[in-house]
Chain A
Amino acid sequence: MDRRDFLTARRKKRTANQEATPAQTFRTNSGISPYTGPWTEQEIIHLLKRTMFGAKKADVDYFRTRTMSQAVDELLTPTAPAPAPPVKEYTTSTQPGTPDGNIAQGTTWINDINNDGTVQSQRRASYKKWWTGVLMNQDRSIREKLVMFLVDQFGNEALDVNSGNWAYRQHSLIRQYALGNYKNLVRDITKDLMMLRYLNGYLNVASAPDENYARELMELFTLGKGPDSRYTEADVKEAAKVLTGWQINYTTWAPVFNSARHSTVNKTFSSFFNNTVITGRTGATAGDLELNDLLNMIFLQNEVAKFIVRKVYRWFVYYTIDAATEANVITPLADIFRNNNYELKPMLSALFKSEHFFDMLNRGCYIKTPSDLVVGSLREMNIQFRPATDWDTNYGLWNTFYAWMVNLGQNLHDPPNVSGMPAYYQEPAYHEIWINSDSLPKRNQFTDIMINSGYARNGFRVQFNCVAFAQTLSNPGNPNDLIDEALKFFFRNDISAQSKAQIKTQILLTNQQWDYYWTNAWAAYVSNPTTANFNTVNTRLRSLFQYFFNLSEYQLA
């Protein structure tokens, strides 16, 4: 089935009311008025678990010194430089026609033009490992989550295009715009090499227009296919004509506009677009001029802002958008987005500072993506990697964690198709798609392995250190405090006092009655960290954390 058939099939599922409300809603009427409630660790952890990968204690402690508004501002204003580019961690293959021996190991391949398939598949892998490392080392901002959101939004598949270089370029383009102007991002990504290739833009010629990009531009990147998006098939055809003429120069790796292949007729759009006519142009500037006209026309539609805002909402808040949320949250946020000429930051700021975002009903309901689980758990357990000079160890380990995310259903920059990850669009299950009888045991297996053995490369081991984590808590000698404080980070949903007591007794106290047995064991270790004393507390803490991570509560953020 080619992409068009697949997408047509999918569309048939969605002709029903897109925002069908489930039987039980328990949604809220809260809107985007600024949140004025308490600003405690609970709120900080909620904010960080959504805007970053996991809520690291160090980050939580940092934001306790800031107000809510300052915290959101800082999260939306990254100051850290862009991450250093991927390096060549692979060995020059003897297979390709043009091996990339000119690139030394440990140096970057991003500027080296090499069209060989073998080299590019090595670089694709390299890119994925690099990106995983970027996530693991993320700066204290929303940037990495936004980049991931936008890469998924445009839904290109690196495997399909088979270019590590172009995947990295598209990633960099998106990174550039992550807190910038969405309309300009759409404009520039139209001419991105990976996009031109993936959605056939480079084959789109006047004599036989290819509608692939035109369709996805409207359906997935701007207007969506909801009840208020009423572009027609004819509109898609006309848009395809606008987009004709672009090609790829494989020697210089640049997009090229070939006016000879461009349709010079006027393009007439439907009443949905107010019967706009885009004047057909000739010459070298035709492509850009008509593209700008097309985007201006599309972005005039109110629905664009709403469609994008709904996507943001489903990525950061929850997947159910009922009538109240549509009216009280989506619509006003869309207004902000549109009125700021599609700058992402003001809209995001309004969202994350809103009473709706901090509403109790929106906490703890977000099923962790594989990246939330894998990257988030490593960050929360303070896993450190090697310095950048040891790229061999780092990339090897990052590859393991990239593979785990794939195993759990998330392949960075390789979604199942251009619609992106099903958890973010497939109704009615949405986020619940992450959890099934295959993936859930694997999620538990991941944290079990990280506790019991971790992964090692070149003699360097990454493994959850439960004793070290306990030492960061305020009162680890008291078993009740230890459990309460640890669960603050691990669970967004409280478990009963009875359950905590049972867990304490069975695990920390190994069925003894008295708390002081744990206290004494901990004190003995602290004052005299012999192997035996370490093992006494370590075996119990490992069992404790393993038990926590295996509970359903751990899968929610």
Chain B
Amino acid sequence: MKRRDFLFNTIPAAALLPEVIDGYSVKAFNANSPLVQALMRGDTLTDHVLVIVQLAGGNDGINTVIPVADYSNYFNARSNVAIPQNRILSIAGVNGTGLHPSMTGLQSLFTEGKAKVIQAVGYPQPNFSHFRATDIWMSASNSTQEVYNGWAGRYLNYEYPNFPTGYPNPDAPDPLAIQIGSTTTLTTQGPIVNMGMSITNPTTFYNLITGTTDPAPATPAGKELTFIRTVNQQTQKYATVIRTAANNVPTQGTYPANNSLADQLRIVARLIKGGLKTRIYMTSFGGFDTHSVQTNTDTTTGAHATLLQRVSDAIRAFQEDLRGLGVEERVLGMTYSEFGRRIKSNSSIGTDHGAAAPMFLFGTSVEAGMLGVNPTIPANANVNDNVPMQYDFRSVYSTILQKWFCLDKTTVDSLFPPNINTQLQNLPLIKAGVCTTVTPPPPPPVPDRVKVLYNYPHPFNDDTEIFFKTEGGHTMVQVFDTMGRVVAHLLEKDYTGPAQDKVKFEASGLPTGIYYARLQNGVVQHVWPMMKVR
């Protein structure tokens, strides 16, 4: 080609790139996009989901995860509520510790290698007040600190710093966190706004997806109330994505009836499978403040037994549903309670507020089994004895943020109080390799008939090869960044005839983000987006 023609066919370096490129809209990948910013940090490409189950009231850990190896001390400390030894359920791969007889569902998860129990999770100077202790668990503060935002809120604020301004947007179209069954809590409170959205109860959810409003009286006041509620629903900015996600899932597995935790988890499974990119779901189940009549005369039954059965059955049904829906790999579940209960029972056939208690994790990515040892039960337990902490709950959160949400340690440390953050342990909770296989977004569909321009690997870290097809003649391959600047002029030559070739794009010195390979061949040009990640 003559130089004159070449110049005529060249586009200037700073020219506009086409609006839509093989399904990626140019607008979506601009420097201000949170996605791009996250890519710059190299931590966000994850579709992992955390489901938090709050057991509100202070769950009696010693009757939930029972120290079988120390049974006689256990029995002596709390004979009026102690579980008979022959009724305690075994935990696969664990000796000397068992589960409350109600928790057959959870037991089967242990058997399948999908559950972990962490013994004696707490924090220094535990607080015995429900309100304060709950705030501590939600904010991850130290016992004497007042922190007005939540650990998950700080994490989400790190990932999505301008929320809610500019949200939803094409990169983050879905709620960042969803609380089901309660109003938004401290857990997702960010530094300025609450990062989560609440669906206060399942009825609200079903109203939202079907567009119904609560019935109102047949009066003028009722008429206006219905009008305002309708507008309210329409302005719920996530209503559409939630509705769409919900409608993507026509069937689910079976869940136990009369089980409010099951009702909540059913919705969570539906939204995960339905395609929401929401990372954190919170559910809540209360009634654990069993100061009195914790059990019946048959101690395997009664108030606490019923609660544990509901929790266990709901979690099992949830896990089964996720498996059936094919999204099991993406989900990690966690239970917590604001404190455990006293080692020694009281005379009302109950237990009073205690300190450390076990946490359960569940999902296919957990390192199954038990972490920690049975809490020591004194031979002559008195009313002041409490379960001492083996693990700080902040270590559990920190491990999840690093090993499940794939954040780097420095970032994670910054989300916790400065005097303890470097002491937090990296606990063996999650299987190895979960974070290194970062799930990339699906590659744009390549038309079968012609694979004119593409790259591999996709995405890439340092280099990638750009494969192209030319019809012959003048052929040029360049790379542009999102600002339209040419960052590499890889190839320019004349081919005698149609050919397939490749050229290497070395990008080790370049920032992460989107780059566009551009092929120009005669009067034809193709553009192909490529993604560099850390």
Contact = CB atoms under 8 A, between A and B. Distances in A.
Interface residues of B, number: 39
Contact of B183 (A24, A362, A543): A543
Contacts of A532: 132, 146
B228 A440 contact: yes
Given A435-B231, A531-B146, A532-B132, A510 B224 contact: no
B54 interface: yes
A432 B228 CA distance: 8
A437 B183 contact: no
B148 A507 contact: no
B234 interface: yes
Contact of A510 (B56, B217, B220, B231): B56
Interface in A454-503: 492-493, 502-503
B220 A539 contact: no
Contacts of B287: 513
Nearest to A517: B130
A345 interface: no
B220 A318 contact: yes
A521 interface: yes
B220 A362 contact: yes
Given A367-B228, A506-B183, A514 B221 contact: no
| Most chain A Cβ neighbours within 10 Å, of B182, B220, B222, B284 | B220
Contacts of A437: 231, 234-235
Contacts of B185: 510
| Most chain B Cβ neighbours within 10 Å, of A361, A366, A431 | A361
Interface string B181-219: 011111000000000000011000000000000001111
Interface string A517-530: 10001000000000
A367 B232 CA distance: 14
Interface residues of A, number: 46
Interface in A516-553: 517, 521, 531-532, 535-536, 539-540, 543, 547, 552-553
Contact of A431 (B135, B224, B289): B224
A505 interface: yes
A336 to B, nearest CB: 24
B131 A440 contact: no
Contact of A514 (B219, B229, B284, B289): B289
A514 to B, nearest CB: 6
A330 to B, nearest CB: 17
Interface string A16-33: 000000001011000000
A306 interface: no
B225 interface: yes
Contacts of A361: 219-221
18 contacts: A26-B223, A364-B225, A365-B220, A366-B224, A367-B224, A432-B227, A440-B232, A441-B235, A503-B183, A506-B200, A507-B183, A510-B130, A512-B57, A517-B130, A536-B132, A539-B148, A552-B225, A556-B228
Interface of A: 24, 26-27, 318, 320, 360-367, 431-432, 435-437, 440-441, 492-493, 502-503, 505-507, 510-514, 517, 521, 531-532, 535-536, 539-540, 543, 547, 552-553, 555-556
Interface of B: 54, 56-57, 129-132, 134-135, 146, 148, 182-186, 200-201, 216-225, 227-229, 231-232, 234-235, 284, 286-287, 289
Closest 3 CB pairs of A and B: A511-B56, A364-B221, A365-B220
